[in-house]
């Protein structure tokens, strides 16, 4: 973990300057001597760049890793950038910025911001900071299982923070969310401060929905390891009348088509690499979309001109192949103005569908499911009407077993993530087992479209799919408390 000087230099860079900053770059924005010192810190100047640090880390390394391991896309056979991800061969020195920059950027700033909010009795920005801190920490816990929490920001007083268990961190984050939600959030936010809320512009009703939705998501993560607690807390939450993000996304969309001001994944994967073809459609997802005649196909992917409108996918991890169709395989669509999502309406409604099936007899599950699928299509300005009607390909299996219903819900959630939150597709597969793992590779005639296959060039051993990331070498070399390394196919604490 990065260590800090006694004097913490503020993140007073304009949020605009950070909008497209790749998490893979060294955003050493805490050490700018031109920025004011600690005594001039306010929650309002800390919050925008902290949010953009979270968005950047989740939207660059997180998106690429999640997208490849969820098999939305795969490494092009004509390039090399992401071969280690596709081969499940990530080492201590690979893709560490998600970890290091989340701590040195987002979480360091949320930590200071929340201390300032306490001293100012600013409960509104306190809730904002608490939500974003919990959101950011959840990503780290879900990928690394254990990370520093209680001793994370001790500066020179704590250069080797101890690591805390993931389940303990979840408990602390949920406690903090409850405390923040219990405060008086009715005080009017000054216009100049509301402008620094780059997510909801000071709309606290939406922040409460975001907090409730994040709590629901975290409790659903626990269904395999602590089913009693998950049931109790989810039923309490829903029975309390809590509102969720069913009608509004948690997202950021004010990007520009300019270096450093565009969508983080576009900046990292296209502008910085100066190519549009580094990641191409995985046959896993492409075959599923084609099988279902899904109208989102040409919104998620584009066929190169040489393919003349025919959509090809690359079999997952088959980047050493010389197959001629791979040269014209469909390309994942990206623009510099793409919205960066934290939690989408589609994800929220599908979470509620699952919760309703698990704990409320499924009386509202179909309505939530339909709303979730519809929202997923609406992200591309499409309608799901012809897909979710009775007898159609995505109709909710009302009379089926719980497992079949859960498979339908999670499969549609998986299908909603490639353009919104690819990392979440990988994490949810770890939690639920959906989409299922295929017993055969995707070239086999018996392959079922949409099932995940073991990478053609995987190095972990057949069937040993990735479940986590390894701790960065910079952490292991500087912090003697870093846990012993485990293989990336060992599951994290909440996984199936």
Q: Is the pLDDT of residue 20 over 70?
A: no
Evaluate whether 279 touches 70 at the Cβ level (below 8 Å).
Answer: no
Rounded Cα–Cα distance for residues 269 and 63 (Å): 10
Q: Is the pLDDT of residue 35 over 60?
A: no
Banded model confidence at residue 156, pLDDT cuts 50, 70, 90 = confident
CA 4 to chain centre: 27
Evaluate whether 342 touches 379 at the Cβ level (below 8 Å).
Answer: no
Q: Is the pLDDT of residue 304 over 60?
A: yes
Banded model confidence at residue 307, pLDDT cuts 50, 70, 90 = confident
Q: Is the pLDDT of residue 14 over 70?
A: no
Q: Is the pLDDT of residue 30 over 80?
A: no
Least confident of 137-141, 145-149, 150-154, 333-337: 150-154
Task: Return the closest-CA partner of residue 110 out of 152, 158, 164, 47.
Answer: 47
State the virtual CA torsion across 380, 382, 386, 389 in degrees, nearest 10.
70
* pLDDT score, position 389: 97
214 vs 14 pLDDT, higher one: 214
Q: What is the DSSP string of 303-328?
A: --GGGTT----BPTT-TT---GGGGG
- The tokens for 378 are 């609406």
Class of domain 1-276+420-496: mainly alpha
Numbered ranges of CATH 1.20.120.840 in the chain: 345-418
* pLDDT score, position 37: 55
Query: Which residues, listed in sequence order, are joined to residue 437 by a DSSP beta bridge?
Result: 452
Banded model confidence at residue 38, pLDDT cuts 50, 70, 90 = low
Rounded Cα–Cα distance for residues 189 and 123 (Å): 10
Banded model confidence at residue 21, pLDDT cuts 50, 70, 90 = very low
* pLDDT score, position 126: 98
CA 66 to chain centre: 8
Q: Which CATH number fits domain 345-418: 1.20.120.840, 1.10.10.2520, 3.40.600.10, 1.10.357.10?
A: 1.20.120.840
Q: What mean pLDDT is reported for the chain?
A: 92
Task: Return the closest-CA partner of residue 371 out of 489, 207, 244, 190.
Answer: 244
Does residue 225 have a cis bond before it (omega within 30 degrees)? Answer: no
| pLDDT tens track for 328-381 | 999 999 999 999 999 999 999 999 999 999 999 999 999 999 999 999 999 999
- First-to-last alpha carbon distance for the chain, in angstroms, is 29
φ/ψ of 163, rounded to 5, equals -90, 140
Evaluate whether 413 touches 393 at the Cβ level (below 8 Å).
Answer: no
pTM for this predicted structure? 0.93
Q: Is the pLDDT of residue 40 over 80?
A: no
| pLDDT tens track for 231-265 | 999 999 999 999 999 999 999 999 999 999 999 99
Task: Return the closest-CA partner of residue 164 out of 188, 148, 187.
Answer: 148
Looking up tokens 């984050």 gives: 173
Burial 31-47 (b: 16+ CB within 10 A, else e): eeeeeeeeeebbbbbbb
Q: What is the DSSP string of 257-275?
A: SSTTSS-HHHIIIIITTT-
Beta strands per DSSP E along 173-231: none
Instruction: Collect all residues with Cβ–Cβ distance below 8 Å to 100 and sequence separation of at least 6.
Output: 1, 2, 472, 474, 475
Banded model confidence at residue 39, pLDDT cuts 50, 70, 90 = low
* pLDDT score, position 317: 98
Map residue 341 onto helix, strand or coil. strand
* pLDDT score, position 3: 33
Evaluate whether 105 touches 27 at the Cβ level (below 8 Å).
Answer: yes
Rounded Cα–Cα distance for residues 209 and 250 (Å): 9
* pLDDT score, position 215: 98
Residue 419 burial (CB < 10 Å; 0-12/13-18/19+)? buried
| pLDDT tens track for 211-224 | 999 999 999 999 99
Q: What share of the chain is helix, strand, coil (3-state, %, to 5)?
A: 45, 5, 50
Numbered ranges of CATH 1.25.40.390 in the chain: 1-276+420-496
Q: Is the pLDDT of residue 11 over 50?
A: no
Evaluate whether 99 touches 340 at the Cβ level (below 8 Å).
Answer: no
Q: Is the pLDDT of residue 7 over 70?
A: no
- The tokens for 287 are 């075959």
Rounded Cα–Cα distance for residues 494 and 480 (Å): 25
Least confident of 97-101, 311-315, 413-417: 97-101
Q: Is the pLDDT of residue 94 over 90?
A: no
* pLDDT score, position 17: 31
DSSP 14: -
What's the alpha-carbon Rg for the chain, to the nearest Å? 22
Helix axis angle, 43-59 to 123-144, nearest 10°: 30
Q: In the structure, how many helices (H) and strands (E) does the chain have?
A: 20, 8
């Amino acid at each position: 973990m990065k260590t800090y000087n006694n004097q913490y230099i503020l993140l007073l860079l304009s949020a605009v300057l950070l909008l497209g900053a790749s998490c893979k770059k060294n955003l050493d924005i805490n050490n700018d001597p031109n920025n004011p010192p600690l005594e001039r810190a306010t929650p309002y100047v800390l919050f925008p760049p902290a949010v953009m640090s979270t968005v950047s880390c989740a939207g660059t390394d997180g998106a690429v890793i999640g997208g490849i391991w969820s098999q939305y896309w795969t490494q092009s056979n004509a390039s090399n950038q992401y071969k280690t991800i596709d081969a499940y061969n990530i080492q201590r020195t690979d893709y560490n910025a998600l970890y290091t920059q989340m701590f040195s950027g987002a979480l360091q700033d949320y930590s200071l911001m929340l201390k300032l909010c306490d001293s100012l009795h600013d409960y509104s920005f306190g809730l904002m900071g608490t939500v974003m801190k919990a959101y950011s920490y959840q990503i780290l816990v879900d990928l690394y299982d254990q990370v520093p929490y209680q001793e994370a920001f001790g500066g020179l007083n704590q250069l080797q923070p101890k690591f805390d268990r993931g389940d303990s961190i979840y408990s602390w984050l949920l406690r903090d969310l409850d405390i923040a939600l219990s405060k008086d959030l009715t005080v009017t936010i000054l216009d100049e401060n509301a402008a620094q809320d780059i997510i909801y512009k000071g709309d606290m009703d939406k922040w409460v929905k975001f907090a409730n939705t994040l709590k629901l998501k975290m409790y659903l993560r626990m269904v395999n390891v602590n089913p009693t607690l998950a049931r109790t807390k989810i039923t309490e939450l829903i029975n309390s009348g809590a509102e969720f993000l069913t009608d509004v996304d948690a997202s950021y969309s004010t990007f520009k088509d300019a270096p450093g001001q565009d969508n983080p994944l576009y900046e990292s994967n296209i502008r910085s690499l100066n190519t549009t073809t580094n990641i191409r459609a995985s046959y896993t997802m492409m075959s599923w979309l084609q099988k279902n005649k899904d109208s989102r196909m040409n919104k998620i992917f584009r066929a190169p001109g040489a393919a003349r409108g025919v959509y090809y996918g690359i079999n997952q991890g088959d980047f050493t192949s010389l197959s001629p169709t791979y040269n014209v395989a469909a390309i994942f669509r990206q623009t510099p103005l793409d919205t960066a999502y934290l939690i989408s309406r589609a994800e929220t409604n599908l979470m509620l569908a699952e919760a309703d099936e698990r704990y409320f007899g499924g009386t509202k599950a179909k309505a939530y499911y339909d709303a979730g699928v519809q929202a997923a299509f609406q992200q591309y300005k499409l309608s799901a009407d012809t897909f979710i009607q009775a007898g159609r390909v995505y109709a909710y299996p009302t009379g089926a077993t719980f497992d079949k219903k859960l498979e339908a819900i999670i499969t549609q959630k998986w299908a909603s993530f490639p353009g919104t939150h690819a990392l979440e597709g990988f994490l949810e597969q770890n939690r639920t087992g959906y989409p299922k793992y295929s017993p055969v590779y995707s070239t086999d005639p018996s392959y079922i479209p949409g099932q995940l296959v073991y990478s053609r060039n995987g190095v972990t051993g057949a069937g040993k799919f990735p479940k986590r990331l390894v701790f960065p070498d910079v952490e292991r070399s500087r912090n003697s408390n870093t846990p012993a390394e485990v293989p990336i196919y060992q599951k994290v604490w909440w996984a199936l």
